[in-house]
Chains A and B, each alone.
Chain A
Amino acid sequence: QKEVEQNSGPLSVPEGAIASLNCTYSDRGSQSFFWYRQYSGKSPELIMFIYSNGDKEDGRFTAQLNKASQYVSLLIRDSQPSDSATYLCAGKNTGFQKLVFGTGTRLLVSP
């Protein structure tokens, strides 16, 4: 079992809808979580990070963390075709710089 699990998708949503991307993790030592976006053939780029239980909002993006359930999610409001990409969830233990990534969820936003 991988330490960070994601559904590979694709997740298809129409333009303007809310896209919900989910991630579970097995290492309870993981304290910080990161969402990276990766366009096809490109490198990952950070969208958001979260380390406290609850919600964190940044523009159209909201990250949610539930440490009791070992669950992380990313909501994308008003989805745009340009949001079509693979979204990578990653976890990090406190004190370590090692990021452990899930395999990613492919998101397709149709016009």
Chain B
Amino acid sequence: DAGVIQSPRHEVTEMGQEVTLRCKPISGHDYLFWYRQTMMRGLELLIYFNNNVPIDDSGMPEDRFSAKMPNASFSTLKIQPSEPRDSAVYFCASSFGTATEAFFGQGTRLTVV
């Protein structure tokens, strides 16, 4: 398996624009996580899904953020409108059942100018 695949790897956008980050989890994994990493706050969980259903979105910072998982092999994280403080590395991770390890994608580095 190719692992967790995220796209794009880098995104530069202007403030106010819509940004969509994409993630393909490892085939067969039933949990999918979206994390955001900054120097100040470290790695923060934004939302996670189990079998395509959102379980905990308490980490989503504002209504400007939304996430969907229309099927087992695809998820999106959307920011609309984007702001400079959204600049961070966004990671997607997936895991199987109660297995302990979450596998991370390579991340999307988002810069909002």
The interface of chain A, by Cβ under 8 A from chain B, is 2, 32, 34, 42-46, 49, 88, 92, 96-104
Contacts and interface: CB of A to CB of B under 8 A. Distances in A.
Contact of A43 (B98, B100, B107): B107
- What does DSSP make chain B's interface, helix, strand, loop or mixed? strand
B45 interface: yes
Contact of B100 (A32, A101, A102, A103): A32
Q: Which of B50, B91, B95, B100 has the most CB of A within 10 A?
A: B100
B42 A43 contact: no
Contacts of A101: 35, 42-45
B100 A49 contact: yes
B111 to A, nearest CB: 14
Contacts of A45: 104
A63 to B, nearest CB: 12
22 contacts: A32-B100, A42-B106, A43-B104, A43-B106, A44-B43, A45-B104, A46-B100, A46-B102, A49-B101, A88-B42, A97-B33, A97-B50, A97-B95, A97-B98, A98-B56, A99-B33, A99-B102, A101-B35, A101-B45, A103-B42, A103-B43, A104-B42
